[in-house]
Structure 1
Amino acid sequence: MSAGAYEAALARRSRSKVSAETPDHAELLRLVGAAGRVADHSGLEPWRLIELRGDARIRLGAALSAAEGKDSPSSKPLRAELLIAVVFSPRKSHKVPEWEQEAVASGVAHVLSLLLDEAGWGVLWRTGGLTRSEPVHEMHALAPNEKLLGWLYVGGKIPREKSERPRTITAEKFLSVLDA
């Protein structure tokens, strides 16, 4: 087995703080092209991504505040210079249920986060109830059937002050064997 994917998965960490440096559009296209290779029953490609930089983040802050009924814009979208909105775009299919298509969109986001991390970028996937609010839906110009799954906050990796213990998973807790 190649150590590349295994090591990338073990090394991945969510980065709640990132620097202002970001990948450019060309690098994103390259990484999205690879992330889109996730398992996708019938090749429906039920997802899309939206790149948010500059004033688009300010408009998102206003939409988040409107969704909460607040007057001043939320500063959360300003925590990274690049946000990538992950959009679930279901396709009509008699073979592939909607939940499976949403899993594909989630898979693309996760693989993209791994690829960004491996390329040296810090990434955090932010979600929450406001992703399904009307002001946020409108701000992203989503179609009526589309759903926002969250945003990948992307920037340069900032060295951590404390040595971080890697999160460990007890595989035996999550993997069982079905007896014959």
Structure 2
Amino acid sequence: MLARRSSPKVTEVAPDDAEIVALLDVAGRVADHAALRPWRVIALRGEARNRLGDALAAAAGLDGEHGARLAAKPLRAPLLLAIVASTTSHFKVPAWEQESVAAGVAHQLSLLLDDAGWGAMWRSGPHTRHPLVAEMHGLVDGELLLGWLYVGGLPDGARADRGPDVAAASRFSSLR
């Protein structure tokens, strides 16, 4: 975990579906009040990334050069893993907690991808929850798109500079 850093640039190789499912078997063990498993992951490859780009541009109301630039963003990685919170009404587990579980799965998955030698970076944006983007992913009532893990191979030398320390002491306090 100390070595993990986001990988904004990746190569065109990516893990296959079987490897993603194996990693999700582990990531899915995140703390989950009432064992609701309020999450799912959608792999976007190939043409699906173009459809996402078109949905993002349409959601932003952009066309022409600006729309094309936004539409190209999902092409930054060969694999996008859409993280979806699939919430249900539950008397003990509010929706926000269920969304937190889905975010926890995403974080665990990013750690596992990094450990397996893949580059990964969490991305979202102002149109993540737009109806056109939800429709492109086939989301149903009770589902919210949290964002995407952009996944691909690590360029040569990518692990050499893994970024600054967190400085956790400045983010910690203790009450008695």
In the superposition, the TM-score normalised over structure 2's length comes to 0.92
Matched position secondary structure for 1:18: coil
Match of 2:100 in 1: 103
Tell me what 2:13 maps to.
Answer: 21
Contact 2:129–2:145 at 8 Å: present in 1 too? yes
| Residue in structure 1 matched with residue 38 of structure 2 by the alignment | 46
Give the equivalent residue in structure 1 for 2:169: 172
Q: Is 1:156–2:156 an aligned residue pair?
A: no
2:29 aligned residue (33, 37, 40): 37
Q: Measure, in 1, the Cα distance between the counterparts of 2:122 and 2:159.
A: 22
Percent of aligned positions that are identical: 56
Structure 1: distance between partners of 2:161 and 2:116: 20
Q: How many residues align?
A: 171
What residue ranges of structure 1 are gaps of 5+ in the alignment?
1-8
How far the C-alpha of 1:171 sits from its partner, in A, is 2.3
For structure 2, the 5+ residue unaligned runs are none
1:116-152 CA deviation, whole Å, 9 max, x = no partner? 0000000011011110111101100101221100000
Structure 1 stretches of 4+ moved >4 Å: 160-163
Instruction: Say whether the 8 Å CA contact 2:4–2:162 is kept in structure 1.
Output: no
Structure 1 window deviating more from structure 2 (109-118 vs 144-153): it is 144-153
Give the AA of the match of 2:13: E
Instruction: Give the deviation of 1:160 after TM superposition.
Output: 4.4
Superposed CA RMSD in Å reads 1.5
- Aligned AA for 2:169? E
Do the aligned partners of 2:80 and 2:150 also contact (CA within 8 Å) in 1? yes
In 2 relative to 1, CA 165–62 (structure 1 residues): closer, same or farther, beyond 3 Å?
closer
Cα deviation for residue 92 of structure 1 reads: 1.5
TM-score (norm: length of structure 1) = 0.90
